[in-house]
Amino acid sequence: MTQVQLRSISKRFGGFTAIENIDLDIRSGELVALLGPSGCGKTTTLRMIAGLENPTTGEIHFDDRDVSDLRVQDRNVGMVFQRYALFPHMTVEKNIAFGLSVRGTPRSEISDRLDEIIDVVQLGPFRQRFPAQLSGGQMQRVAIARTLITKPSVLMMDEPLANLDTKLRGEMRRFIRTLQQRLGITTIFVTHDQVEAMELADRIAVIFNGHLAQFGPPEDLYRQPVSVDVADFMGASNIFPGTMTGTDAVKTGFGTLSVVAQPGMADGSRVHAMLRNEGIDIHPANVEGGDDMVAGRIAARDFFGATVNYVVECGAERIIVNEQSRRLLDVGMEVRLDIPAERVWLMAG
């Protein structure tokens, strides 16, 4: 198991800065997701760790050893590409054995390790098939097996589930997580899908425009984002500008909300208040409530099966509320929204 550390890494392509001064400490055996929109620099970061790109400035360490100048062949890392990058002219068996064969591993050992890994990824019946004869999920498994057979110190995955359908993606997520936990291999996973990142990762590094916006466990990023951009990217939410009145209340366009005092949020400071859609309770107007209740009217309803979204007009603002669809409220109904103080998160305005 290997620790990976990025020390003030930057990457420039001509006049374009892809990555700017990123520091990242990845613990051994941890699965870290690099999350961000397309073109934010997450794949470039991954390629620098792999050795496919050289950082313009900064250092990359594996277990405190500087590998920045080490050739890709000598880093002992594994990488699963978005489009798998299987060798189309080789069978499943030859694809998987390639890494061992080029490293001069004895044939008997290759054969033993091949049997073992093919068993792990459940590709037994497909050993003699070519990539073109496999489904997306099977190709994915070949790519993972080809990488794992060399026992890399760090496993990297560049949007490996992007080309799979929804059902298969779910299966592969569970497969990857189980395999990673079983092998305890340090894994870095690139994705632009925040649900995928939260489901898989121990910690998530959110990257915007080449900058590391936030790095932490999924629940911290979801509940306590450091900025409006992170809050927005991590999931559906209502974000309103407001002004602190004291340290435990914020005045917004639809009324004053009670909040839990947060460091740095002083009286009179401009803030953004974030309310996750599912963090708001909605009640018919005739239900009595406490001081936190906000009055409104349901302007629209979107039914998703298991859950339902209500668009509630509260004065000049619109608040989206998500709840289980066990009951359905009608459009036009007067309602009251229960927004407990502990569910409001404040970010610097």
- Least distance from other proteins to the Cβ atom of residue 277, Å: 39
Residue whose CB is less far from other proteins, 186 or 322: 186
Query: 132, 95 in Cβ contact below 8 A?
Result: no
Using CB under 8 A as the binding rule, the residues of this chain from 43 to 62 that contact other proteins are 50-52
CB atoms within 10 A of CB 20: 17
User: What DSSP designation does 134 have?
Assistant: S
Q: Please report how many Cα atoms fall inside a 13 Å half-sphere around the Cα of residue 312, on the Cβ side.
A: 29
Using CB under 8 A as the binding rule, the residues of this chain from 212 to 241 that contact other proteins are none
CA distances from 14 to 21, 41, 214, 349 (A): 17, 15, 27, 34
Q: Which residue from 81, 224, 226, 248 is in contact with other proteins, where contact means CB under 8 A? A: 81
Query: 118, 124 in Cβ contact below 8 A?
Result: yes
- Least distance from other proteins to the Cβ atom of residue 259, Å: 49
Using CB under 8 A as the binding rule, the residues of this chain from 132 to 171 that contact other proteins are 132-133, 146-147, 150
Residue whose CB is less far from other proteins, 156 or 335: 156
CA dist 301 and 282 (Å) reads 13
Query: 51, 78 in Cβ contact below 8 A?
Result: no
CA dist 53 and 151 (Å) reads 22
CA dist 243 and 252 (Å) reads 7
- Least distance from other proteins to the Cβ atom of residue 155, Å: 11
Q: Which residue from 16, 64, 73, 182 is in contact with other proteins, where contact means CB under 8 A? A: 73
Q: Which residue from 1, 72, 285, 299 is in contact with other proteins, where contact means CB under 8 A? A: 72
Residue whose CB is less far from other proteins, 89 or 270: 89
The reply to whether 185 sits near other proteins by the rule CB under 8 A is no
Q: Which residues contact residue 285 at a Cβ distance below 8 angstroms, ignoring those fewer than 6 apart?
A: 295, 333, 334, 335, 336
- Least distance from other proteins to the Cβ atom of residue 121, Å: 16
- Least distance from other proteins to the Cβ atom of residue 98, Å: 6
Question: Segment contacting other proteins (CB under 8 A): 32-40, 82-90, 236-244, 340-348?
Answer: 82-90
Order the strands of the 293-303 sheet from edge to edge: 281-284, 334-338, 293-303, 307-314, 317-324
Residue whose CB is less far from other proteins, 132 or 316: 132
Chain residues that interact with other proteins, rule: CB under 8 A:
50-52, 72-73, 75, 77-79, 81, 83, 85-89, 91, 98-99, 102-103, 129-130, 132-133, 146-147, 150
